[in-house]
Structure 1
Amino acid sequence: MAGINRRDFTKLTFGAVLATGLAAPAIVKARTPINMILNWRYQGPQSWFFLAQDRGYFEEEGIAVTMDQGSGSGAAVTQVAGGAYDVGFGDINALTQLRAQRDEDTPLGVYMLYNRPPFTVGVLSSSDIHTPQDLEGRLLGGAPNDGALRLFPAFASITELDTSTIDITNFQPNLREQMLRSGQVDGVFGFVNTIRFSALLSGMNPDEDIRFIRYGDYGMDLYSNALIASRALINDHPEAVRGLVRAVNRGLIDTLADPDAGIAAVAQREPLIDREVEKMRLMATLRDEMSHPEIADIGIGDISPQRFAEAIDIVVAANDLPRSPDVGEVFSRDFLPPEDERVRDLG
């Protein structure tokens, strides 16, 4: 070591470490945390979220997503708007109502999944209720945050129902099919496939026992559930929002390729699910709630601006809201995957 002082020796040693690739561990960039609220408890039509998580798609995008079960599509919107969650899978019509009544920034839809209206009033097939007008003078019920219940004023306006003759009671979501089956209410609010498969799990035959009065059959051509993101997340971490959408889009593609893998991912979160029923629920959701003809042109995730504007006007007029928000105040197309990566055929 003659002729080499301590400082020179330190330099040489550090240089040797670098040269042999034995430098200090590389700094791992922290992933952006995203807290997400789902529309409902864990079920088949959430497969794409769980596959995206299990297959590392969120991690690849530099995000760490925590998902909680929800209590309704409308509730997901208010929970994101209130700051409890960064992202929700919620009803875009509830977001329209919120935006129409607030001047300050509200969350934005960033990825549309349910492009056909699933909203309905379910009644017993044995009843004499066949049309919306037959609901007059009846007792209806639903969970307070149910999307169909929140949109009932719009449905009543379009179908010219006299709502002064209709009584509505609230109850917990898990009581819905029991309340209908026992005759404690004449009709229940909900998504068609939520009611259908919950009834199936309760021992009913929904195809024989339940008749659906669907909002979409009476001029309410609405969008429904979308990924919605808080303005704070959009403003502070726009790339995280893009990454989330890309990852969920990949999860959807994987679900379509292998529905059983999607159901297995749900079962990892909720082992007590009936896998056969949840697969049926998943396939029915793809068929009934995500298959609007427009997806052949624009793909799942996107919207038709003209159709969306008309949907906004329906919600605003029927609820006597103070104004009609512009499309861009409710939904942003800035975070969508490229057109060639969007699903255009559900098979």
Structure 2
Amino acid sequence: MHRRQFIASAATLSSAIAAPAVWAQSAPKLTPLKFTLDFRVTSQTAPFFLALNKGYYRDEGLDVSIDVGAGSVASITRIASGVYQMGLGDISSLVEFHAQTSGTPLVQAVYQYYNRAPFVIIGRKDRGVTGDFASLKGKRVAAAAVEATRRAWPMVARKLRVADDHFAWTTTDFSARDNVMVRGDVDAATYFHDSAVSLFARMKTEELSVLKYTDAGVNLYGNAILASNAMVTQQPGVVAAFLRATNRALQETLANPLPAIAAIKQREPILDEKVELERWRLTAQYVAAADTRGHGLGDVRKYLLEQQVDQIVEVFGLKTRPSADGVFNRGMLPALAERTLKA
């Protein structure tokens, strides 16, 4: 009797010990994916962190890591180098990159995050910068050495029929831009509109003029989710999975940004919730612009992208003209029903 009880207990113990090993063998293996932001962690990219924190990437079989970026142009070279598989970067700069590299594109846009580029120049009214670009004549405008808003200015100048040197550039670091504006070292500065909330927190909005590139009639697509050629050709299912999870989180953030703000505060506790909510309010205007109600989030109107390519080729004197299909690959987008704006 005692022998039977001993054998039964041993068998139970053996099963309990073996169970974790069996579970570990049956657990799905996650695909690692390195994603680079265009800049630091803010509510502009809160949907990516919501997807991470709520397990949407894991649900799609992905082990995603998200790193801060060094600018929307630098993201392209990060991905082209193979250090990152995907990231967020400026699509106009991607057009230039395609024109300057021969052969198969090393990087493609796969989801249009900013349906309109949030490019603005913000000027001080006490320096004579009023509500139009003509008032910038002869002024000093701060910008980083390599950044998308600065590089896109010649397209605005061409549209307005003013000289490229309509004003003088003052090169400064991203982190110093607010300081030079507040001190009055410059008359104006370039911004992503939603990045300017840090300036709005230090200067009264009635003291500032916000000059939008879109108001000049320059309709440019902004930062897009980019993927390396290796991912697009060898692992399109992984790219599609990342986009599904991100799109899901983006829809939720547009409907209610509070959980997404909480997600970025887990990553950067120092962030101010009120400031980030205001930043997202501005971001949403460019992410879910009017076009998205027709073709859904993440897509582009081909003729508009073709026009953007033409402008970039002309303004920058590029020797080759990339194709819109080569720049933007819509083959891995989530289904239209998933991308149709719900908020």
TM-score (norm 1): 0.87
Cα distance in 2 between the residues matched to 1:174 and 1:157: 29
After the TM superposition, which of the residue ranges 47-56 and 97-106 deviates more from structure 2?
97-106
Number of aligned residue pairs: 325
User: Do residues 239 (structure 1) and 240 (structure 2) align?
Assistant: no
Residue in structure 1 matched with residue 60 of structure 2 by the alignment? 61
Cα distance in 2 between the residues matched to 1:145 and 1:87: 21
Residue in structure 1 matched with residue 339 of structure 2 by the alignment? 342
Q: Structure 1 residue 22: deviation in Å?
A: 10
Q: Tell me, what secondary structure is at the counterpart of 1:276? A: helix
Residue in structure 1 matched with residue 198 of structure 2 by the alignment? 198
Matches of residues 90-169 of structure 1 in structure 2 within 5 Å?
A: 90-104=89-103, 105-130=105-130, 131-164=132-165, 166-169=167-170
After the TM superposition, which of the residue ranges 263-272 and 21-30 deviates more from structure 2?
21-30
Matches of residues 245-264 of structure 1 in structure 2 within 5 Å?
A: 245-264=243-262
User: Do residues 179 (structure 1) and 180 (structure 2) align?
Assistant: yes
Q: Tell me, what secondary structure is at the counterpart of 1:163? A: coil
Q: Structure 1 residue 138: deviation in Å?
A: 2.5
Alignment check: 8 A CA contact 1:147 1:190 kept? no
User: Do residues 70 (structure 1) and 72 (structure 2) align?
Assistant: no
Alignment check: 8 A CA contact 2:35 2:64 kept? yes
User: Do residues 46 (structure 1) and 19 (structure 2) align?
Assistant: no
The amino acid of 2:316's aligned partner reads N
After the TM superposition, which of the residue ranges 232-241 and 273-282 deviates more from structure 2?
232-241
Q: Tell me, what secondary structure is at the counterpart of 1:140? A: strand
Alignment check: 8 A CA contact 1:154 1:319 kept? no
The amino acid of 1:128's aligned partner reads G
TM-score (norm 2): 0.88
Cα distance in 2 between the residues matched to 1:337 and 1:165: 43
The amino acid of 2:315's aligned partner reads A
Alignment check: 8 A CA contact 2:108 2:226 kept? yes
Q: Tell me, what secondary structure is at the counterpart of 1:334? A: helix
The amino acid of 2:318's aligned partner reads L
Cα distance in 1 between the residues matched to 2:144 and 2:340: 32
Residue in structure 1 matched with residue 311 of structure 2 by the alignment? 314
Alignment check: 8 A CA contact 1:96 1:312 kept? yes
Alignment check: 8 A CA contact 1:110 1:336 kept? yes
Q: Structure 1 residue 154: deviation in Å?
A: 2.1
Stretches of structure 1 that go unaligned for 5 or more consecutive residues are 1-16
Residue in structure 2 matched with residue 283 of structure 1 by the alignment? 281
The amino acid of 1:234's aligned partner reads V
Q: Structure 1 residue 81: deviation in Å?
A: 2.3
**Higher share in helix:** 2
Cα distance in 2 between the residues matched to 1:161 and 1:94: 23
Task: Say if 1:54 and 1:286 are closer, same or farther in 2 by CA, change over 3 A.
Answer: same
CA RMSD of aligned residues (A): 2.2
Residue in structure 2 matched with residue 34 of structure 1 by the alignment? 33
Task: Say if 1:342 and 1:164 are closer, same or farther in 2 by CA, change over 3 A.
Answer: closer
Stretches of structure 2 that go unaligned for 5 or more consecutive residues are 1-14
